[in-house]
Structure 1
Amino acid sequence: MKERVLTGVIAGAGFLGIIILGGHLFAAVIFLVATVAMKELLAMKEIQTFTARAFVGFFLMWLLFIPEPYINVEWIPFERAELFLLMIIVLLALTVLSRNKWTFDDAGFTVLASVYVGYGFHFFHYTRTIEDGLLFVFLILILVWSTDSGAYFAGRKFGKRKLSPSISPKKTIEGSLGGVILAIIMGSVFMLIFPLFANWFVAVLFMLTVSLVGQLGDLVESAFKRHYAVKDSGNVLPGHGGILDRFDSLMFVMPIIYLLGFI
């Protein structure tokens, strides 16, 4: 427990400092974090880091993650989405050219993993760069962390009905509701100080979305680990597991709030 708390305090303080600084340093750190997250996903499928299969996965993820100002290269004859689609076609062709050593399952996993990680961290970086981006990032972090804490303590105190026992046996419906309630309370306090939205209806809708989608993201990562029979996604953070274990909620939240027009 002491190791977990110490790691959380040091890593959390350092990460918040980098978010505040923003700029190239923030972009570089998020690039590194995304790369480690992709490495952890590949490891779940027993794909070694320094192999051609892994490189394809990293390349696709980087293609989706890298922010616009860093990828505006005029000599590339394709848009980002077009190049990504071309790579998918190449991956499918490899299932034939490799005589099924590279399988359809490999291709599907690689594409899905790259989208999951790449877009999750792409929109996390994007949010920091918009107007009031720092406040939005802090609000989202507060909502995600409050949801985790509220779900944990409400689940321990009141938890009876299982939320998704086949994926995460310890999570309960009561815990989930407790997480949502604490997130709205903490988010409302933040909004009283920093009114980021024009009205409270939109603000509450935003808080509900982040809290519920964050919990869904946590369950998705739990489903990954259960499917591949691993306890933690990695051991980068002593006492906390891997990068995916810490960023699973954010990776789901960021693309969704972008698609819904909140940012």
Structure 2
Amino acid sequence: MVKRIVTAVIAAALFLPFVIFGNIPFAVFIYLLSTIALYELFNMKKIHLTSFPGVISLFLLWVLLIPSNHIIVLSNLAISKIECSLLAVLLLLSYTVVTKNRFSFNDAGFAILAIMYVGIGFFYFIETRSLGLEYLIYGLILVWTTDSGAYFIGKSFGKRKLWPEISPNKTVEGFIGGILSALLAAMIFQAFTGIADSYVKLGIITIILSIFGQLGDLVESALKRQYNVKDSGHILPGHGGILDRFDSLLFVLPILHFLFKLL
């Protein structure tokens, strides 16, 4: 527990200044985090990031991460992100032929899905920050309070297993406790920032995001069970890898961005 707390404090001290400052330094930091996250995913599948499919995947990831306000980089080349994605798919499928299926269709499918999972999730770190600092801070607080509430309430009152085949320690009581904890934090945040038009609107958004945040955590748990690994990586002592810490945010931030722009 002490190791987890120390790591969390150090990580927050490194991460929050980039969040607060925003702009290019924040985008560069997100590029670094997403690259590590993709490496962790590929490592589960035993695909080297320095291999041909690894390099193609890394290139596409970096293209997907280009912020909307810098998309002119691609416009000047008269190509789009969709066209870059199509080119990557074709190259990966061609590689299955070159390797005589040592790199298979399933491997190519894994690579594309991994790029989309990591790339889109981290892209919305940058996009949400561009909406305003308060939106990203809200997202971070929501995920942290959901995780903490689910852990402590589940540990104290949890009896019914939520999804034992995927994550045996999670409980229904913890799931509900995470949502209630996030709601409480959101109401306090609204009182200080007025981030939403009303408390009711923020409450609805918070419930949706808290549910998806916990689903994001379960998705990563399912991935680790599929590939028989305890943690996605070892870069954060006591916590695991980048994916272990950002799994919920990869689900929350795209939906947060859409909800605040649509509602």
Quote the residue 1:218 is aligned against.
217
Contact 1:60 1:111 in 2 (8 A): no
Quote the residue 1:7 is aligned against.
7
Q: Structure 1 counterpart of 2:209, which letter?
A: V
1:187-211 Cα offsets, whole Å, 9 max, x none, are: 1000011111112221111111111
Residues 1:21 and 2:21 aligned together: yes
1:216-255 map, 5 Å:
216-255=215-254
Residue identity over aligned pairs, in percent, reads: 48
Quote the residue 1:57 is aligned against.
57
Residues 1:43 and 2:46 aligned together: no
Residues 1:162 and 2:200 aligned together: no
The Cα RMSD (Å) is: 1.5
Q: TM-score, normalised by structure 1?
A: 0.94
1:21-100 map, 5 Å:
21-73=21-73, 74-100=75-101
Distance 2:89 2:49 in 1: 20
Distance 2:142 2:150 in 1: 12
1:60-209 map, 5 Å:
60-73=60-73, 74-130=75-131, 133-209=132-208
Contact 2:68 2:127 in 1 (8 A): no
Worse-matched range after superposition: 234-243 or 66-75? 66-75
Q: Structure 2 counterpart of 1:254, which letter?
A: L
Distance 2:248 2:236 in 1: 17
Q: Structure 2 counterpart of 1:90, which letter?
A: L
Question: CA shift at 1:260, angstroms?
Answer: 4.0
Query: What secondary structure, in the 3-state scheme, does the structure 1 residue paired with 2:162 have?
Result: strand
**Structure 2: gaps of 5 or more residues:** none
Distance 2:7 2:237 in 1: 7
1:82-101 Cα offsets, whole Å, 9 max, x none, are: 22123213322332343222
Query: What secondary structure, in the 3-state scheme, does the structure 1 residue paired with 2:177 have?
Result: helix
Worse-matched range after superposition: 64-73 or 206-215? 64-73
1:133-187 Cα offsets, whole Å, 9 max, x none, are: 1001111111100000000011111111111100000000000000000100011
Query: What secondary structure, in the 3-state scheme, does the structure 1 residue paired with 2:220 have?
Result: helix
Question: CA shift at 1:36, angstroms?
Answer: 0.3
Return closer, same or farther for 1:262/1:173 CA change in 2, 3 Å cut-off.
farther
Query: What secondary structure, in the 3-state scheme, does the structure 2 residue paired with 1:169 have?
Result: strand
- What count of residue pairs does the alignment treat as equivalent? 261
Q: Structure 1 counterpart of 2:31, which letter?
A: F
Distance 2:60 2:218 in 1: 24
Distance 2:50 2:71 in 1: 24
Contact 1:31 1:66 in 2 (8 A): no
Return closer, same or farther for 1:54/1:240 CA change in 2, 3 Å cut-off.
same
Q: Structure 2 counterpart of 1:227, which letter?
A: Q
Contact 1:44 1:233 in 2 (8 A): yes
Distance 1:76 1:4 in 2: 46
1:248-263 map, 5 Å:
248-260=247-259, 262=261
**Structure 1: gaps of 5 or more residues:** none
Question: CA shift at 1:254, angstroms?
Answer: 1.4
Worse-matched range after superposition: 11-20 or 85-94? 85-94
Distance 1:69 1:169 in 2: 43
Contact 1:206 1:262 in 2 (8 A): no
Q: Structure 1 counterpart of 2:197, which letter?
A: A
Distance 2:256 2:4 in 1: 30
